[in-house]
Every structure is written in C-alpha cells, then in structure tokens.
C-alpha cells in the first residue's frame, strides 16, 4: 500500500494544504487538499473519497474536483456518514454556492455518487477492507481503518479528541495517522471541541498501548501552519516520553506499507 500525504494541515498557506491522504492513487481520505496536489490525470484515477466528517478543511475539494469532473469519464464515489451528507447538501453541495455535483450532470448519473457508511460496518471499497469507527469530535465523525489484500492496514483518525479507547478496541493498524490541532496551551479548548494537543496525543497513545499492547508507527497531520514549530517541538517531547517514533506528516510525504 502506498500512502501519500497530500494535505497535512488544518489551514492553508504556501506549502501547506488542508487535510487529504491518497492510497495507491485510487482512494482519498478526506478532500481538503486534493485537487491542488494532483494532476488532472491523477484526479481521474480517484475512484472513492472517504470523508471523516463535513468540516470545510476535510470536504472543500468535493467542489473543485466536481468542477474538473466535467471532463472525466467516470464518476467518483463519496463515502460518509448520513449526518455528514445532510450538512454537505445544505452548505457545500447546495446548488447555490456552485453546482451541486451530487446531482450533476444528471440526478440519475451524477459525478459525485453518495454512499452512506455506518460505524463498525466493514465494507469492501475498491478491493480494500474499510472499517469506519466513531471518534470524538464536535460533529458526527468517524476514522477509517483501511486494510489491503496483503493484510497491511492503516487507521486515519480524522479530527478527534481524547476519549477514544473504544475506537482502539476495534482496530489494529500498522500505521496510525492522527490529528494534532495545536499546541498544549490550547488543551482546554480542544477538550471542549474534540481535538488533540501533543499532550492529549500522549494520553491517547498511552491508551492505545494499554488496549492493544503495541504502538504502530505514528504520523501526525492537521497541524495549523501558524503553530507548526511549536507543535513539532512538543511532539518531539511526547515521542521521547513514549519512546516511540512519531513522524510529522508533510505534503508530498510517501509511506509504503
Ligand atoms: Zn473538524
Ligand atoms: Zn479539521
């Protein structure tokens, strides 16, 4: 499995794109930084997009991909919770801010095909086992465990806060891609809205180790560009304390599992 980080941030600036990951060129996890990262030919190879939740930094490129889709031969399937589609249809794909690509070019054969997922219901998507698992965020959200045919798997949390021990009980990935949304000084705020700081990451990884008896390789994304250095410094301390490897995800980073 080739995992390519397209967007490793919660905000956008030169060199920093919103959250998106591409697996073997065909499945995208979240659509925050999809289109600016990929050539048109690469965009046409995407067969499925798995959305963790509706927030703009994870969903915005449904619109930009939809606009390019006029020239694509095949549609793209979007997998998300019913609650996520509810918001997207009112706020992003509402047919007012731009075309509604879930009904375009026709209602019967749209470019973006909506497929609902439910937590803990595994399904086969493009030959991968995909398991959505509920996480703690201010809106309904899931992380996804993706398992390839050779048995290798990754888990991507999407946006989450602490309190996900139940989530860890349902997965056993070789690679964990997890969010950290800012420095430790924002911890109280993050606890209210469901995000992680480096210290909260330490807590959830300690829980993971307690539940699963190992720690996978960890890659952190969703760092705000404005706090990059501070967060990286704090994550280094966490890695030292846990005596484990924690990589900072970067745009263009490739990981082979
Ligand atoms: Zn969010
Ligand atoms: Zn986010």
- Using a cut of 0.95, tell me whether the model's pTM lies above it: yes
Residue bearing tokens 């909506």? 114
- Going from the Cα of 106 to the center of ligand 2, the distance in angstroms, rounded, reads 31
What's the pLDDT score for residue 219? Answer: 98
What's the pLDDT score for residue 225? Answer: 98
| pLDDT one digit per residue (tens) for the chain, 257 residues | 999 999 999 999 999 999 999 999 999 999 999 999 999 999 999 999 999 999 999 999 999 999 999 788 899 999 999 999 999 999 999 999 999 999 998 999 999 999 999 999 999 999 999 999 999 999 999 999 999 999 999 999 999 999 999 999 999 999 999 999 999 999 999 999 999 999 999 999 999 999 999 999 999 999 999 999 999 999 999 999 999 999 999 999 999 99
Q: CB of 156 within 8 A of CB of 21?
A: yes
> Rounded to an integer, what distance in angstroms lies between the CA atom of residue 190 and that of residue 182?
9
> Rounded to an integer, what distance in angstroms lies between the CA atom of residue 197 and that of residue 187?
6
Q: Between the CA of residue 59 and those of 34, 84, 212, what are the distances in Å? A: 9, 10, 31
- Going from the Cα of 102 to the center of ligand 2, the distance in angstroms, rounded, reads 22
- Going from the Cα of 223 to the center of ligand 1, the distance in angstroms, rounded, reads 12
- Going from the Cα of 88 to the center of ligand 1, the distance in angstroms, rounded, reads 13
Cis peptide before 105 (omega within 30 of 0): yes
What's the pLDDT score for residue 71? Answer: 82
Q: CB of 146 within 8 A of CB of 124?
A: no
Contacts of 125 (CB under 8 A, 6+ apart): 27, 48, 50, 77, 79
Query: SS3 for 27?
Result: strand
- Going from the Cα of 147 to the center of ligand 1, the distance in angstroms, rounded, reads 24
- Going from the Cα of 140 to the center of ligand 2, the distance in angstroms, rounded, reads 12
Q: CB of 13 within 8 A of CB of 7?
A: no
What's the pLDDT score for residue 155? Answer: 98
């Amino acid at each position: 499995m080739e995992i390519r980080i397209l967007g490793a941030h919660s905000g956008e600036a030169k060199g920093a794109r919103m959250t998106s990951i591409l697996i073997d060129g065909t499945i995208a996890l979240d659509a925050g930084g999809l289109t600016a990262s990929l050539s048109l030919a690469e965009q046409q190879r995407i067969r499925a997009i798995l959305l963790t939740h509706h927030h703009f930094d994870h969903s915005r490129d449904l619109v930009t991909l939809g606009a390019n889709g006029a020239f694509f031969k095949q549609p793209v399937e979007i997998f998300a919770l019913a609650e996520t589609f509810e918001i997207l249809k009112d706020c992003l794909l509402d047919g007012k801010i731009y075309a509604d690509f879930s009904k375009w070019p026709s209602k019967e054969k749209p470019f973006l095909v909506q497929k609902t997922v439910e937590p803990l219901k595994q399904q086969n998507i493009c030959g991968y086992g995909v398991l959505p698992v509920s996480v703690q965020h201010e809106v309904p959200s899931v992380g996804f465990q993706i398992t390839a045919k050779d048995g290798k798997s990754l888990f991507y949390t999407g946006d989450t806060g602490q309190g996900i021990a139940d989530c860890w009980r349902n997965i056993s990935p070789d690679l964990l891609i997890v969010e950290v949304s800012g420095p430790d000084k924002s911890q109280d705020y993050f606890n209210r809205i469901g995000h992680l700081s480096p210290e909260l990451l330490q807590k959830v990884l300690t829980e993971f180790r307690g539940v699963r008896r190992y720690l996978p390789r960890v890659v952190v994304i969703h760092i705000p560009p404005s706090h990059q250095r501070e967060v990286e410094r704090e994550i280094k301390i966490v890695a030292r304390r846990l005596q484990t490897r924690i990589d900072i995800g970067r745009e263009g980073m490739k990981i082979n599992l």
